[in-house]
Structure 1
Amino acid sequence: MQARLLPAARGVFWLFEGFRLFRRNPPLITAATLVYLLAVQLLALLPLIGAVLLPLLLPAMTLIVANACRLVDRQQTPGKAALLFGLSGHGNNSAALLRLGALQLAGALLVVLLTTLIGGGEDPFANALLSDTADTPADPAAQAAVLGKLAQVLLLATPLIIAFWFAPFLVGWDRVAPGKSLFFSTVASLRNWRAMLMFSLAAIAVAGILPGFILILVAQISGMALSAAFVALRMVLVFLVAPVLTASIYVSYRDIFTPSDEMHA
């Protein structure tokens, strides 16, 4: 499995190419992304069992969304068999994807354990929820502490994110063993760390910084319009930004692992 070495600017290209891919079939990519997000939320709401099922099923769910992007990219007609490619019928790798999910569950548990040990037994997610639901405004110092702990969690989870970035596609489409897929995903991400960093920064700017700046600007102009602006931005994030980011992740796999002479085959 050979991973191409790409320049840093390619990471920004993934975002623009994801938008171009989205424009070719907005209903399909949006529907696939929304179903994915809804499934994640429903599983997360299940007490105890949801925390186990979500990592187990996440690789298969990711592959289904990527199949939708792949169909649009290849200008193929959507269908059940095509959307489930790699999970059922020809090229069935459902068992391998489940094993990959088990590895992801183990990795998530390790991150939680390390976070708890470093934080002295405190749960940063619980603290964040308490600060969000409190009746009185949270102390700025407390908010900074919560953000610091969440940043710590993200830092600890970064190796896990890198290892699983391409893994579902490698297992589902290329029939790579789950363990080897983590290795190839990590090597590909590290070889292309500049492009991955540029993509991450561009995604943060589009999905986080820009909406926040717009809300601040609206609040300065008219506080009464802030609620409407928040709702509008949330709709844009769900129905536009999330599908574009989904398509961009597919593009990153296609760009790194597909030879240039096969990209438009």
Structure 2
Amino acid sequence: MNVRTLPARHGLLWLIAGWRLLRRYPRQMTSITLVYFLVVLIVNLIPFIGPFLLPLALPMLTALLGNACRALDHDQPLTQDILSAGLEAQRTNLLRLGGLHLLGSVILLFASQPLMIELNPDQSKAAEQLADLLSHLGLFLLLASPVVMAFWFAPLLASWHGVSAVKALFFSFVASWRNWRAFTVYGLVILGIGIALPGAVIVIASFFMPSIAGVLAMFARMALVLLLGPVLVSSIYISYRDVFSEAAVANE
């Protein structure tokens, strides 16, 4: 399978392409994103088994989202046949991926337990606690990165190309590793947008309308979810299309 190694700027280009797809199909992209978030929320709220069911279901949900984004990218209608393409034929592969995802999540959970810290209400130690929190967050991201890299492309590889679960994880990890520069830019831009926009709203509101600063901040976060959510959802497909371009074209 041919994997392209892309320049760092492609991390930003994936988000721009996702924004353009949202602008072309705002209703469809917003709808599928909200349905995805709703399904994730409902499954996660199922008592006792919800947190275990979610990792099992995520590969199939990701493949379904990939089908939707690919169809819209090619100006095709979102029919049931298009949305479910590959899901039935590769159900076993996707369920195996889900099982491996659950296993990876459990291992990551136990491995990150030493990084959990208890916050102290003592304001005099706020700076020290913030430094500890950031350092522990950095270590957690370092631990989580291999899991994210292995599962980023894996559902689409399994669903669209019939690659076995283990091989899909391997190819996904290699592709992500070879494009670490683009993914670094991708993550930094998302982090910057997620922090900068709500922060700017809070600062401006605090100067001019301090009484409703909290309300405006809440609306800013909601708007960010509605705008950034579809972009992030589509960026999985777009990064796949970019990195595995020849394979994707051959399959279509």
Check whether TM > 0.5. Answer: yes
Q: Distance in 2 between matches of 1:57 and 1:143?
A: 35
**What is the aligned counterpart of 1:154 among 141, 145, 148?**
141
**In the alignment, which residue of structure 1 is the partner of 2:163?**
176
**In the alignment, which residue of structure 2 is the partner of 1:71?**
71
The alpha carbon displacement at 1:36 in A equals 1.1
Stretches of structure 1 that go unaligned for 5 or more consecutive residues are: none
The alpha carbon displacement at 1:216 in A equals 2.4
Q: What is the TM-score with the length of structure 1 in the denominator?
A: 0.86
Q: Is the 8 A contact 2:202 2:214 kept in 1?
A: no
- Within a 5 Å distance, the mapping from 1:136-155 to structure 2 comes to 140=126, 141-142=128-129, 144-155=131-142
The alpha carbon displacement at 1:138 in A equals 10
Question: Which residue type is aligned with residue 108 of structure 1?
Answer: S
The alpha carbon displacement at 1:144 in A equals 4.7
Q: Distance in 2 between matches of 1:183 and 1:260?
A: 16
Q: Is the 8 A contact 1:29 1:65 kept in 2?
A: no
Closer/same/farther in 2, CA of residues 147 and 50 from structure 1, 3 Å limit: farther
Identity %: 40
- Within a 5 Å distance, the mapping from 1:159-238 to structure 2 comes to 159-238=146-225
User: What SS does structure 1 have at the residue aligned with 2:112?
Assistant: helix
**In the alignment, which residue of structure 2 is the partner of 1:113?**
110
Deviation by residue 1:196-230 (Cα, 9 ceiling, x = unmatched): 11111111122233322332232233212313312
Q: RMSD in angstroms over aligned alpha carbons?
A: 2.4
Deviation by residue 1:117-146 (Cα, 9 ceiling, x = unmatched): x34xxx55xx58xx8xx9x98962445544
**In the alignment, which residue of structure 2 is the partner of 1:28?**
28
Deviation by residue 1:159-211 (Cα, 9 ceiling, x = unmatched): 10011111111011111111001111111111111111111111112223332
Closer/same/farther in 2, CA of residues 206 and 184 from structure 1, 3 Å limit: same
Further displaced range: 232-241 or 168-177: 232-241
**What is the aligned counterpart of 2:226 among 235, 239, 263?**
239
Closer/same/farther in 2, CA of residues 228 and 138 from structure 1, 3 Å limit: farther
Q: Distance in 2 between matches of 1:199 and 1:240?
A: 16
